[in-house]
Amino acid sequence: MAVFSMWVKRAPSRLLPCLSSLSYKQNGSSYKSNGFSSQRNGYDNKSSYDSGKYQRNGFGGQRSGGYGGQRNGFGNKGGWNDQNSLQTINWESKSLMPFEKNFYEPHPNVKKRSEYEVEQYRQSNEITIDGDAPSPIQNFDETNFPDYVMDQIKSQGYEKPTCIQAQGWPLALSGKNMVGIAQTGSGKTLAYILPAIVHINNQQPLSRGDGPIALVLAPTRELAQQIQQVANEFGHSTYVRNTCVFGGAPKGPQARDLERGVEIVIATPGRLIDFLEKGTTNLQRCTYLVLDEADRMLDMGFEPQIRKILGQIRPDRQTLMWSATWPKEVKRLAQDFLSDYVQINIGSLQLSANHNILQIVDVCGENEKEFKLNTLLQEIGDNVDRDSKVIIFVETKRKVEDITRTIRKFGWPAVCMHGDKSQQERDYVLRQFRNGKSTILVATDVAARGLDVDGIKFVINYDYPNSSEDYIHRIGRTGRSNTTGTSYAFFTPNNSKQAKDLVSVLKEANQVVNPKLEDMAKRSGGYGGGNNRWGGFRGSYRGGRDSQPKRMKW
């Protein structure tokens, strides 16, 4: 069995914004505490997190079904099965065919490198590790990928591995489970596809009726198709076949690919479950599993589907989970399904706001908010294009209803959304907002993440959220796809514990800091941990979001 070695020579340059080469400029944003006027020009943002477009699929509207059918998760290959659910597999009762997953032998140069040199390299490239990871390779000469892979890399014109590849390849090839925190655009697809190809080429070939050896789960059709493009480029010369299965397209051609047999399946969760339930394919041969953009998948309500799919795959598989952020939901998924894993983070540990957004913080009293909101909407209405959309974030469902009523009384076309609204109501509200029939959406944090609506120019934090991470997600509803936007926050003495974190978010984004807020930050001391986007590795305390008070139920 071939063993591929990874060899090292010199440091790669940085490919991406996450690697500290963020450039930004913000000229002339001025803050006036008595109103909200501001000027801006010249934003140059390169740090937005959601570069791909997607629409959140329904805030928890999840597939029903579940376990308990009669199938045993194996057998039944290639044909249709009228059983409509997947049975939980009792892995302990199965005798599983052994398979190889460690193909890594470091190059002598890598072995020679001192701990200090490795640490220096990681630090200068903003690579942080939790766990026992092999040393990174430092350029392509040090990778001993097979020729067919190297030829393809050369034909792409890539000069050096990106940071995620430099650290991710040795780790993935060593067969360990891993969590990678990296942004789209960091070269992560190749970081897991090339090891997948090596993994596949070292397994028994597929027999008739076998399912894939590598499974890549992705949140959206668009991302799945992008991944497939990379798998096509690098897989075709090695006869590694793939197919992409996603909802919203006819099932026939996808089913035929699956039945013919493919080594890699790239799938969105819902459509894959359809095929698994019907027995079109199975995951009996799957030994290499990738969860891409895990945070987005959870944001989109796919957790039950992911758990269902993962329950169908042998537990000694290699799992690679990728996420742009590390909230507790993603952490829990990793703990439940990866057990022992190495975590790598690429990029600054600081969570940062999109630099295309002008952030204005008004320090005020609780009882001033209503008046200020009215004034602000008036100013927006008087001065801005009528089609501009506004989101107002409020803490509780009840307040959402109250504020929406009040705004409507003043003649504004407002709609609202919170956790008590039915799926149908939410869909309706989103449609109204999306097509501009209502230009103001009042919402709880149910709309803070993932919501991607064109034309949102203003985000108003009527109630300041419980953490700077939530704040960053909320204001990220504007300034998308390189457009600009403005956010406002009413910040009261009750929020003073958040002042220090907020000041660091503002400073990082080169915003003008309201002196009253700065003063509050100095007096309150805050949590002291800054806006750490991980909340600590493995949930350990680092003074980040884990330390914040529990948010209100919305």
- Is 185 a binding residue for ligand AMP by CB under 6 A? The answer is yes
- Is 162 a binding residue for ligand AMP by CB under 6 A? The answer is yes
Among 122, 188, 457, 533, binds ligand AMP (CB under 6 A): 188
Residues 5-34 that bind ligand AMP (CB under 6 A): 15
- Is 186 a binding residue for ligand AMP by CB under 6 A? The answer is yes
DSSP string, 434-472: HTTSS-EEEE-GGGTSS---TTEEEEEESS--SSHHHHH
**Which amino acid, one-letter code, is at 498?**
Q
Among 63, 158, 259, 427, binds ligand AMP (CB under 6 A): 158
Q: What is the smallest separation between the CB atom of 369 and ligand AMP, expressed in angstroms?
A: 41
Nearer to ligand AMP, 27 or 225 (CB): 225
Q: What is the smallest separation between the CB atom of 61 and ligand AMP, expressed in angstroms?
A: 28
- Is 284 a binding residue for ligand AMP by CB under 6 A? The answer is no
The three-state DSSP-derived secondary structure of 342-380 is EEEEECCCECCCCCCEEEEEEECCHHHHHHHHHHHHHHH
For the CA atoms of 412, 415, 416, 417, the dihedral, rounded to the nearest 10 degrees, stands at -150
**Which amino acid, one-letter code, is at 136?**
P
Nearer to ligand AMP, 168 or 530 (CB): 168
DSSP string, 183-227: -TTSSHHHHHHHHHHHHHHTSPPPPTT---SEEEE-SSHHHHHHH
Distance between CA atoms of residues 417 and 440, nearest Å: 11
Element (H or E) spanning 142, and its range?
A: none
Span near ligand AMP by CB under 6 A; candidates 77-85, 179-187, 273-281, 360-368 = 179-187
Span near ligand AMP by CB under 6 A; candidates 156-164, 272-280, 457-465, 528-536 = 156-164
Q: What is the smallest separation between the CB atom of 320 and ligand AMP, expressed in angstroms?
A: 13
- Is 504 a binding residue for ligand AMP by CB under 6 A? The answer is no
- Is 457 a binding residue for ligand AMP by CB under 6 A? The answer is no
- Is 177 a binding residue for ligand AMP by CB under 6 A? The answer is no
- Is 161 a binding residue for ligand AMP by CB under 6 A? The answer is yes
- Is 195 a binding residue for ligand AMP by CB under 6 A? The answer is no
Nearer to ligand AMP, 71 or 107 (CB): 107
- What count of other Cβ atoms lies within 10 Å of the Cβ of residue 127? 23
**Which amino acid, one-letter code, is at 318?**
Q
Q: In what order do the strands lie in the sheet with 214-217?
A: 127-130, 342-346, 178-181, 318-323, 288-291, 214-217, 264-267, 242-245
Nearer to ligand AMP, 196 or 363 (CB): 196
Residues of this chain that interact with ligand AMP (CB under 6 A) are 15, 158, 161-162, 165, 184-190
